Amino acid sequence: MSAFIALISGCIFAAGLAVSGMTDGNNIVAFLDITGDWDPNLAWVMVGAIGVHGAMIPLFKRRATPRFREVYPTSRSGGVDARLLAGAVVFGAGWGIGGICPGPSLVMLPSGSAPIVVFTVSMLAAIWSYDRWVAPRVAPEPQRPA
Amino acid sequence: MILSLGGGILIGCAANLIEWAFGDPAGISGITSSVLGQRRQSWHSFFILGLVATGVVLALFFPDLVVATADRSLIAMAAAGLLVGVGVRLGSGCTSGHGVCGISRRRPRSFVATTTFIAVGMCTVTLIRTLHSGGGV
């Protein structure tokens, strides 16, 4: 049952990305092109997603445990530090060049289009390499309860 | 606007399902990392499978919805993928993890990360257009 919920969630998430226009790189670039022919339309994606999710979070957090977990998972997130900022800068640069972020990349991959496949394979290789070789050498983030 | 808002609401519903079932944020870069690194919980693989399977349906029946950015060379796309991959691991999240789930949880660090990557993305697009007006990258 938990596998089914996860599968359906992935399908709904992907459908949301496609319906909202996030799987078209030109939409992303137009949203980021604030000094040019700016198309602010994609801001509505965040309004919808944060509106729906943000409204429910306090209700979920009131429960003792999630449906398929014995305990609430602990959050690994710390505060604002140089690592967070550096990561956001590097990600933002790649997002501006490619017009694709990780969610859309996985949804777009089956299209088989060469630029999308090149982007996604490169991104997956970078994630894997970072986790394998870089992450063990940088200090782990502080642990604190959610 | 209606489609973007509607799509956003679908994304919010998916994030709600994941939070209800597993108590985790639906951050795609983190889930992808755990699947690649064999550190996954069983639900992670099924979530990614749902994303990719929907991508197959889109490719077969709605190919017009999936479009690569115009005027970007394959080398630029490879570099972009590299930057996105490193950036999301270094910064512990992407558009979904920080932008949707983190801000919904009112986490200050996710506000900072989201504003930063959107601002840098805007600078990057402006720079590319300025350097290569008409020529592409």
- String of DSSP letters for A36-47: SS--GGGHHHHH
> Within 13 Å, how many C-alpha atoms sit on residue A26's CB side?
9
Q: How confident is the model at residue A146 (pLDDT cuts 50, 70, 90)?
A: very low
Cα A128 to its chain centre, rounded Å, is: 16
Q: Is the pLDDT at B39 greater than 80, yes or no?
A: no
Average pLDDT over residues A108-131: 98
Average pLDDT over residues A84-97: 98
User: Using CA atoms, how far apart are residues A105 and B107, in angstroms rounded to an integer?
Assistant: 25
Q: Which residues touch A70 (CB under 8 Å, ≥6 apart)?
A: none
Verdict on whether the full-model pTM lies above 0.90: yes
pLDDT at residue A144 in the model: 46
What letter would DSSP give residue B63?
A: G
pLDDT at residue A145 in the model: 45
Nearest Cα of chain B lies from the Cα of A93 at a distance, in angstroms, of 5
Structure-token pair, residue B70: 């115009």
Q: End-to-end alpha-carbon separation of chain A, Å?
A: 25
Query: What is the phi/psi pair of residue B67, to 5°?
Result: -135, 130
Nearest Cα of chain B lies from the Cα of A121 at a distance, in angstroms, of 7
Q: Is the pLDDT at A67 greater than 50, yes or no?
A: yes
Interface membership of B35 toward A (CB under 8 Å): no
SS3 A61: helix
User: Using CA atoms, how far apart are residues A39 and A41, in angstroms rounded to an integer?
Assistant: 6
User: Using CA atoms, how far apart are residues A50 and A68, in angstroms rounded to an integer?
Assistant: 24
Structure-token pair, residue A119: 């982007």
Q: Is the pLDDT at A86 greater than 80, yes or no?
A: yes
Interface membership of A142 toward B (CB under 8 Å): no
Cβ neighbours, 10 Å, residue A41: 16
Interface membership of A38 toward B (CB under 8 Å): no
